[in-house]
Structure 1
Amino acid sequence: MKTRAIVINQYGGADQLIQDMVELPELDEKQVLVKVHATSVNPIDWKLREGYLSQMMPWDFPIILGWDVAGEIAEVGAMVTDWQVGDKVFARPETTRFGTYADYTIVDDHLLAKKPEAISFEEAAAVPLAGLTAYQALFIHGHLKAGEKVLIHAGAGGVGMYAIQLAKNLGAQVFTTASEKNRDWLEGLGADQVIDYRSTDFSEVLSGIDLVFDTMGGEIQDKSFRVLKPETGRLISIVGEPNLELAKEFNILLAKSIWLNPDGSQLQKMADWLESGQLKSIVGETFPLTAEGVKDAHQLSETHHAKGKIVLKNKESNK
């Protein structure tokens, strides 16, 4: 079937984003077709748009960006048993050139989670990629335990705000870097100490940290080794390979870069927490799922100063 989508036909700036009709692949027997009510913007979207990931993802054009979806199932594959047409779901689909900036998108059935009744489609769309990234960094790779100290860089960002809540709910002591204007908000989410990165060098005021969750890279990543506990300290990055020489110098147990693995069962855990109120999804800005709306959303994301998640609402889905 054909779907309206926001696509790129070549790499470049936000002006490459255009609306077009795209033929979707045939639905496999273990896939569902989701009518997209909302999706969201993540830095990977505009990094891919710019061409930074073209070697890792050597796709044909047109490319539909977007790797978050919240919506309703419109069609199910022949072997799908756990889901039916009309189910309200959200997901982080597999990474393909047929993304979620569209009226319809295809999702493997094992990657779906039930949309919590307690939250909107927009709030649900904000969760999958950022929430799963935080979950996997802290628990699967970082092995965070109750009572440990964790430093989460850029706590006001899309990934950071989920990481703070997940770590606090586990029983960890949570430190985060952010601007002063976000202090009260982040403390409300569970941060025990908010370090204003504009006025304070975190590496001069922190020590004995068990886990650093690095969302910044560069000099901030390098300085993070100084605050970790020797022998047992861990650093997990989502932005670049850590300097293993520094890890050795500071006698760090683990330093690695991770890539998100889509996972429906982990997302369902987060859905249950969202339903019970243990986890909050915070939508910072909402834009329409149109070429102009996506351009504006990308430009905001590229400033690195968005608070919460940037969501794209599909007004077509209500027709």
Structure 2
Amino acid sequence: MKAARIHAYGAIDDIRIDDVPEPVVGLDDVLIRVEAAAANPMDNKLIAGYLKDFFPLAFPHVLGTDLTGTVVATGRMVATVKPGDRVIARTEPAAGGAFAELAAVPARLVVPVSPALPLKSLAGLPTAAASAWQALFEAATVQPGQSVLVHAGAGGVGSFAVQFARRAGAHVTATASAANLDLVGSLGAEAVIDYRSQDFAALLTSVDVVIDTVGGETLQRSLGIIRRGGKLVGLSAPFDTEGAKARGIDAQFLFHQSDAGRLAAVAALVTDGHLQSVIGREFALADTAEALRALSKGGSRGKTLLMP
């Protein structure tokens, strides 16, 4: 089968599309024929070695964590899915394996989905939608009536965070580029700020919750608009929380953790028509490097998919 691999830590240009043996299916594994895989910023960080202290890779390493597809075979101990089932899954970051024609994933990380939904539309859920859910409801514990600012509201995580926050009864403001203002408004944001021509820090005050996927200056300037006792959840990179605490703000960095129960809850919302998955660009597996290069430039609309 074909798979996108790296043979050492390095750069995006080091990705190879290799012919590799099909994965070995363990007793508790599910072998999935991949229909679509989603690229995430974490993929680029793994390639560069930025996360090697947390997720050391064994080389050669097949990239990718998020996938959707059809079950081909299962290990003898698997009772949750069967061949022919349509599923979504998120592998552990150090394991990878999603950017391939076939992937073997532990059954505990695999969630069956409705046959009524296009599999491609679900590929962006495992990290992006589940991260948004974790940030809002587990880290920020957002409540009805609270004010929530979502940075990069048209992005992978942001587009889901806007929808979740509005569905939870919060008053949602988001930042986006001018080209994406209408999209973010349609997802549920009551106000959308063009970050290129407007200053969110001059327009907002006493915000209850900020969900930030941008980091850097955007995160630091967000501290000035959060009320005392409010919350800031950053998902881009670890940051110093001491300055936030001095202002009476509960600030935390969130690194998404795989959880099949959370993923099943997110998938159920899509099945019921309560959640839209925004697909930005699609690439062939052979163009994995191009896809990750485009993602690294930032400003992506929705999810970037790879189609084996």
CA-CA distance at 1:24 after TM superposition: 6.2
CA contact (8 A) 2:23 2:102 kept: no
Which consecutive unaligned segments of at least 5 residues does structure 2 have?
A: none
CA distance in 1, matches of 2:241, 2:293: 34
Q: Aligned partner of 1:172: which letter?
A: A
C-alpha deviation, 1:23, in angstroms: 4.6
Match of 1:313 in 2: 307
Residue 93 of structure 2: aligned partner: 95
- Partner SS, residue 31 of structure 2: strand
Q: For 1:51 and 1:30, how far apart are their aligned partners in 2?
A: 29
Give 1:58-69 correspondences, 5 Å limit.
58-69=56-67
- Match of 1:147, SS state, is coil
Is 1:302 the counterpart of 2:300? The answer is: no
The offset of 1:302, in angstroms, is 1.1
Cα distance in 1, alignment partners of residues 261 and 95 from structure 2: 24
Q: Distance in 1 between matches of 2:285 and 2:67?
A: 12
1:25 CA drift (Å): 6.0
Rounded Cα–Cα distance in structure 1 between residues aligned with 2:23 and 2:114: 29
Give the drift of 1:54.
2.5
Deviates more, 1:34-43 or 1:48-57: 48-57
Contact 1:71 1:89 in 2 (8 A): yes
Distance (Å, rounded) in 1 between the aligned partners of 2:11 and 2:215: 23
User: Which of 159, 170, 188 matches 2:157?
Assistant: 159
Q: After the TM superposition, list the runs of 4 or more consecutive aligned residues in structure 1 that deviate by more than 6 angstroms.
A: none
- Partner SS state of residue 95, structure 2: coil
2:200 — aligned with what?
202
3-state SS of paired residue (2:79): coil
CA contact (8 A) 1:9 1:63 kept: yes
Taking structure 2 as the reference length, the TM-score comes to 0.95
Asked if structure 1 preserves the Cα contact closer than 8 Å seen for 2:34 and 2:70, the reply is yes
TM-score normalised over the length of structure 1: 0.92
Q: What corresponds to 1:259 in structure 2?
A: 255
Moved more, 130-139 or 10-19: 10-19
> Partner of 1:183 in structure 2?
181
User: Aligned pair in 2 of structure 1 residues 62, 287: CA closer, same or farther (>3 Å)?
Assistant: same
RMSD of aligned C-alpha atoms? 1.5
The corresponding residue for 1:47 is: 45
Counterpart of 1:274, as a letter, is V
Check conservation: 2:39, 2:306, Cα contact below 8 A: yes
Quick one: distance in 2 between partners of 1:33 and 1:155? Answer: 34
Identity %: 36
Cα distance in 2 for partners of 1:111, 1:251 equals: 37
- How many residue pairs align between the two structures? 308
For the 8 Å contact 2:175–2:193, the answer to whether it is kept is: yes
Segment of structure 1 superposing worse, 72-81 or 14-23: 14-23
| Partner of residue 4 from structure 1, selected from 2, 5, 29 | 2
> 1:317 corresponds to which residue?
none
Q: Distance in 1 between matches of 2:235 and 2:245?
A: 20
3-state SS of 2:282 partner: strand
- Structure 1 unaligned runs (5+)? 315-319
Query: 1:234 is matched with which residue?
Result: 231
CA 1:47/1:241 → structure 2, altered by over 3 Å: closer, same or farther?
A: closer
